[in-house]
Amino acid sequence: MNLQLLFWAASLVNLAVLCGVALFGVRYARRGEIARHRHAMKISSWLVVAFLGAYLLKVGVIGREDQSVWSNLDVWVLRIHELFVLFMIGGGAVAWIQGRKLALTQIVTHDPSDPTPDAKIVLTHRVAGRTAVISSVFALVLAIGIFAGMVARG
Ligand code: HEM
């Protein structure tokens, strides 16, 4: 296996793990286990940051892929995958910012003397969070296709 393939195999595992952890995070939120929800989303976010760091390092050390030998379809699948990655990062960032605003409210502390959360913030958080998690799953499905193409080209 060449170095590029090894890097993308590790990245695929990273993306699969972060999707799995985020899906557990959604389950925790639905059960009202917000401390666990927050913890799971923190781990997923760090896995995104780790990938971005590793990707920059990879581009610097072994360079970019030679897309001139890719089929048109493969290039399109890559572009759509990248779009989902952008939605994942954007949605995740908005969910973090809005989630922090919920941290000291009843919905998280379960203390009736704490303020009730602003319904708009709860909704924005939920929509942004769902956008991020759903995008990560689509990004993973497309990444499997992209990786299969790389393996086939050798
Ligand atoms: C600062 C950290 C966070 C806190 C305190 C927090 C808190 C919460 C709370 C209280 C809910 C329940 C709201 C409701 O009643 O619907 C919730 C739901 C949700 N959160 Fe977070 N959250 C955090 C970070 C994140 C992040 C980073 C993401 C995604 C990347 C995320 C994704 C979601 C999703 C998808 C739901 C909706 C689950 C569902 O009902 O389908 N959260 N969060």
pLDDT tens-place string over residues 130-154 = 999 999 999 999 999 999 999 998 7
Q: Give the ligand 1 atom nearest the CA of 103.
A: 5
CA distance 19 to 41: 10
| 42 pocket-lining for ligand 1 (C-beta < 6 Å) | no
Domain ranges of the chain: 3-153
11-70 pLDDT, tens digit each: 999 999 999 999 999 999 999 999 999 999 999 999 999 999 999 999 999 999 989 999
- Asked if residue 40 has its Cβ within 6 Å of ligand 1, the reply is no
Is the CB of 29 within 6 Å of ligand 1? yes
Confidence of residue 1 (pLDDT cuts 50, 70, 90): low
Q: Name the pTM for this structure.
A: 0.93
> Does ligand 1 come within 6 angstroms of the Cβ of 85?
no
